[in-house]
Amino acid sequence: MLQQTTVKTVENKIKKYLKKYPNFKSYKVSNLEDLLSSWSGLGYYNRAVNLFKSVNIINQTYKGKLPNDKYKLLELPGVGNYTANAVLALGFNEKAYPIDVNIRRLITRIIDFKLTDEELETILDISFKNNKNFRNFSESMMDYSSSICKKSAPLCPKCIFKNFCRSANKKFDKNVTKKIKNQRLEFYIIKKNNLLCFIKDPNFQFYKKFLHLPSSLDKKFISHTKYDEKEKVRSFNYSITNHKFKINVFILKNSYIKYKNIQWIKNNKLEKIALPTLFKKILY
Ligand code: SF4
């Protein structure tokens, strides 16, 4: 969650989320729409979809208990090597080494050589003599790296590895940032009495599991829509991962739509359906 949004947003959301879903069984009375609605604002919506699928498997196959077996964990949708190792080490305190970006950076700098995650896991296994508290070991490695062996300005003079680290006191490029992609987009609010128009086959690449408002990317929809007036109602910037959008929102007045793949939703139902934050900002 923290890859996509701030600690503050997650802090507020996670409390409500855990109140609604305190354990795997609590998902039984829910559906994907409910889950997406609780997840709304946290981004990476595919993870919510995978979580929902995984929870169903855990409830049906493992009687509501998360297995502590790596191969069983890897069979769950959305669970890869890192997540399986993180669940085992951090969740069950069992022998596993989740290699996150911090641990990878720390070891790679010390030996000044790029290795695969499997090789990094082997190095950690050889180095970790205690062989007991895997949870503390992983968390301390992650925290040590993020607070001392920082991405662009490592604190080498303070570092306990400085005497044998092959990258000690090296300069690291501060300007290594993701390439930002700028894009201008129009979104359209189309009302008919107390109904609002959504599109079922959007060309906007994000939030595929949600109902979408039509946008300037939906060329087919636009070519099948006529209207009397296009009134601009709001304009704002919005970032999703490394995409920076300049969003302009228009109301299309007295419109006539000859496009089939749409869905009309009653205004008073909008609160109940799952909508990503972007669409809420467009509408309210
Ligand atoms: S000496 Fe510097 S580069 Fe090496 S591990 Fe420590 S903080 Fe990182």
Question: For residue 87, what is the domain's CATH number?
Answer: 1.10.340.30
- Helix segments in the chain, DSSP class H: 7-20, 32-39, 45-61, 70-74, 81-86, 101-111, 117-127, 134-147, 219-223, 277-283
Question: Is the domain of 132 the same as that of 85?
Answer: yes
Q: Is residue 37 part of a domain?
A: yes
* Token couple for 104: 């990878």
Q: Is residue 138 part of a domain?
A: yes
Question: Is the domain of 111 the same as that of 230?
Answer: no
DSSP-derived 3-state class of residue 65: coil
Q: Which atom of ligand 1 is nearest to the CA of 159?
A: 6
* Amino acid, single-letter form, for residue 5: T
Question: Is the domain of 154 the same as that of 204?
Answer: no
C-alpha 151 to ligand 1 mean position (Å): 10
| Residue appearing with tokens 């296994």 | 125
What confidence score (pLDDT) does residue 227 get? Answer: 92
- H or E stretch at 196: strand 195-199
Query: Which residues does a 6 A CB cutoff place in the pocket of ligand 1?
Result: 106, 109-110, 148-149, 154-156, 159, 161-162, 165, 167-168
CB neighbourhood size of 205 (10 A): 9
C-alpha 143 to ligand 1 mean position (Å): 13
- Helix segments in 21-67, DSSP class H: 32-39, 45-61
**Global confidence as pTM:** 0.69
Question: Is the domain of 19 the same as that of 151?
Answer: yes
> Do 16 and 38 touch, CB atoms closer than 8 A?
yes
Helix, strand, coil percent content, the chain, rounded in steps of 5: 40, 20, 40
* Token couple for 148: 């001392």
Domain range spanning residue 230?
Answer: 181-283
Q: Is residue 175 part of a domain?
A: no
Question: Is the domain of 31 the same as that of 98?
Answer: yes
What confidence score (pLDDT) does residue 129 get? Answer: 82
C-alpha 104 to ligand 1 mean position (Å): 12
Show pLDDT as tens, one digit a residue, over the chain (284 residues).
776 667 777 888 888 888 889 999 998 878 888 888 888 777 778 888 999 999 999 999 999 999 999 999 999 999 999 999 999 999 999 999 999 999 999 999 999 999 999 999 999 999 888 778 999 999 999 999 999 999 989 999 999 999 999 999 998 876 656 688 899 999 999 999 999 999 999 999 888 778 899 999 999 999 999 999 999 999 999 988 889 999 999 999 999 999 999 999 998 888 778 788 899 899 98
Total domain count for the chain?
2
Q: Which atom of ligand 1 is nearest to the CA of 105?
A: 8
Q: Which atom of ligand 1 is nearest to the CA of 160?
A: 6
